Amino acid sequence: MAGRKRAAEYNSWHQMKQRCENPSNPRYASYGGRGIRFCERWRVYKHFLADMGPKPPGTSLERLDNNGNYEPDNCVWATARQQQSNTRRNVFIEYQGLQLTVTEWARRLGLNAEMIFVRLRRGWSPEKALTVPAQLRLGAVDAEVIVKRYRGGLSQRAIAEMYGVDQSAISKTIKRATNVDDNA
């Protein structure tokens, strides 16, 4: 292959092998180091290519079962967005018979994903985290916490995104809380 650009499929195959078998590879710990292997058939590039077919533009090699091996029944060519829904770090929520990641639910329902994460960390049920309007949630939040975050260096915009509300709601909360402090 000297002097020629390697095929995208070859590069994917080569990187897969490196992740699984080369302890010097920076990504080995997340693959070979935790027991992820590739099937014996795929030791030969032409078999990998025959099983996977051409790599569509904008895709990369994806394992459907994130804990499973690289093998024909567990691999597809997937976009980055598809792969983001299949990582060990994802948090899944089952609601109304569907199991989706928090990010997918946020996209589907027009909510802020960070707000959903905050609600879940605070012990909210999945249904409540997905259905309670953001403005109602802000009314229940202790204004002192918002002021403390603001005084600690977080911008009003960042706090608003954290709670999934409009920045003006945070601004009003800070003004009310600091006016009470000033009048006390």
Q: Has this prediction a pTM greater than 0.75?
A: no
Q: Which residue type is seen at 42?
A: W
pLDDT tens string, the chain, 184 residues long: the values are 454 457 999 999 999 999 999 999 999 999 999 999 999 999 999 999 999 999 999 999 989 887 899 999 999 998 887 776 666 667 788 888 888 888 888 888 888 888 888 888 888 899 988 888 765 455 545 678 888 899 999 999 888 777 767 788 888 888 887 775 554 4
DSSP character at residue 5: P
Alpha helices per DSSP H over 22-142 = 45-52, 80-84, 102-109, 113-121, 126-131, 134-140
Per-domain boundaries in the chain: 8-84, 92-183
Q: Label residue 106 left, alpha or beta by phi (over 0 means left) and psi (-120 to 50 means alpha).
A: alpha
Name the strand (E) or helix (H) holding 79. strand 75-79
Name the strand (E) or helix (H) holding 171. helix 167-183
SS3 159: helix
